[in-house]
Amino acid sequence: MIYNVDKETLPREDMEALQLRRLKDLCERVYARVPFYKKKFDEAGITPADIRSLNDLQYLPFTEKQDLRNHYPYGMFAVPKENIVRLHASSGTTGRATVVGYTQRDLDIWAECIARSLMMAGATRRDIIHNAYGYGLFTGGLGVHFGAEKLGATVVPVSGGATRRQISLLKDFGPTVICCTPSYMIFLHETAREMGIDFRELPLKIGVFGAEPWTDEMRRDIEAKTGITAVNIYGLSEVMGPGVSMECHEAQCGMHIYEDHFLPEIIDPSNGKAMGPGETGELVFTTLTKEGIPLIRYRTKDLSSLNYTPCICGRSTVRMDRIKGRSDDMLIIRGVNVFPSQIESLLLETAGLTPHYQIIVRREGPLDTMEVQVEVDEKMFSDAIKNLQHRERELQKNIKEFLGVTASVKLVEPQSIERSVGKAKRVIDQRGE
């Protein structure tokens, strides 16, 4: 089922006409109301009247996270503060937090995008939705919450943490949909097992997972262990929050972008030049309808590609590929680019290993070294030492062969890597400390 048939199945030509109208309006608004954009447009020698086709987008300036930080907290807002009805902020794990503000209309659109997403995952108003995304300044919890209500479903606002209690609620309330990070889902499954509860016997049938990069191997692992259909949701607080794009349960192959609100581009991160469909580069969004904090060509640092081919679900909107990594997370080990997601794929292909891992990067003398710590499952742990050593060598060889870097691999006992209730911490970079 499709929540907004009109917008989600719009023919390409009509979608582009709508996007152009909205892009022109957006340029007028930011030029008139946000000094940062007036200055940027002036420096580029462009005025809103110069935007005559979608192709003119390439002449508009980029916006980066640092621009939001430089204008902390309210410098990028495009409406008077009394029109802002809610604030959210990023966690600020790497520097100053960024603040985003929403008008009532922004919140209404966000709720609709989530309602579209939940229906795309296979949910309807008859479902009970267990929302384990964190409630608070993080956009995950409240974002999903209001969309679930808009859909008319029953939302259980559990938020993150208190894992054993969550298992009890999953058993007692009988939700059919769960929303959380994929790593937390795995933790929930483990905890349930300890409590003697089999996920496959719960009424749960759909998992909406996002807020951290994950892989198809991890999807298959979750689906096999829990018996649910796992789909991928994408978003970022600067652009809106979760629900910028969503994977349909029919294809499970890339996330449909809500193009009537978010205009996507893929650029070469090294020079900013546009890249074609199917090519992997940095994802860039222009928020066509946002009022509170509209953004022109926001560089997400997420690496993906765009797919305009028709989808079996009947939607006509472009699909973005699963995030292949963040240029922020990209590790450069002795000159080789390495993404944690690549390591994850390899270890999930090795028997007896779990998706709980950490990558520790150190500098020894002039050289970077990388150590991958991976938990083994109970069965593997009880095996002879020589079997463990064999697996260590196997993974080490695969990392060398597929990623081109030398890593030391250390298999550790089950439950020894710290669990996260939100985004998993995959990389500990001790260089420069």
Rounded to 5°, angle at Cα 381 from 379 and 383: 75
Give the separation between CA 122 and CA 1, rounded to whole angstroms: 7
| Mask for 260-299, x = binds Zn ion (CB under 5 A) | ----------------------------------------
User: Would you state the structure tokens that stand for residue 259, as one six-digit string?
Assistant: 């193009």
Please tell me the count of residues contacting Zn ion according to CB under 5 A: 5
Within 74-133, the residues that bind Zn ion by CB under 5 A are: none
CB of 250 to Zn ion, least distance (A): 6
* Segment lying near Zn ion (by CB under 5 A), choices 39-47, 305-313, 370-378, 386-394: 305-313
User: Would you state the structure tokens that stand for residue 32, as one six-digit string?
Assistant: 């008139």
The angle, 0 to 180 degrees and rounded to 10, between the axes of the packed helices 182-194 and 216-226 is 30
Of 145 and 219, which CB lies nearer to Zn ion in the complex structure?
Answer: 219
Give the separation between CA 207 and CA 220, rounded to whole angstroms: 12
Distance from the Cα of residue 258 to its chain's centroid? 15
- Where is 17: in which H helix or E strand? helix 12-33
| Mask for 228-257, x = binds Zn ion (CB under 5 A) | --------------------x--x------
CB of 388 to Zn ion, least distance (A): 42
Of 1 and 49, which CB lies nearer to Zn ion in the complex structure?
Answer: 1
Of 310 and 335, which CB lies nearer to Zn ion in the complex structure?
Answer: 310
User: Would you state the structure tokens that stand for residue 133, as one six-digit string?
Assistant: 């995304």
Interface with Zn ion (CB under 5 A), residue from 177, 313, 372, 411:
313
Of 321 and 394, which CB lies nearer to Zn ion in the complex structure?
Answer: 321
CA diameter of the chain: 72
CB of 277 to Zn ion, least distance (A): 16
Among the listed residues 247, 218, 222, 245, the one whose alpha carbon sits nearest the alpha carbon of residue 232:
247
CB of 128 to Zn ion, least distance (A): 24
CB of 228 to Zn ion, least distance (A): 19
Interface with Zn ion (CB under 5 A), residue from 311, 359, 376, 421:
311
DSSP secondary structure of 131-158: E-SPPSSSHHHHHHHHHHHHHT-EEE--
The angle, 0 to 180 degrees and rounded to 10, between the axes of the packed helices 104-120 and 139-151 is 70
CB of 12 to Zn ion, least distance (A): 15
SS3 423: coil
Of 121 and 228, which CB lies nearer to Zn ion in the complex structure?
Answer: 121
CB of 253 to Zn ion, least distance (A): 7
Amino acid at 65: K
Please tell me what DSSP assigns to residue 267: E
CB of 311 to Zn ion, least distance (A): 3
Amino acid at 131: N
Of 8 and 392, which CB lies nearer to Zn ion in the complex structure?
Answer: 8
Of 219 and 426, which CB lies nearer to Zn ion in the complex structure?
Answer: 219
Give the separation between CA 107 and CA 271, rounded to whole angstroms: 34
Name the residues that contact Zn ion, by CB under 5 A.
248, 251, 311, 313, 315
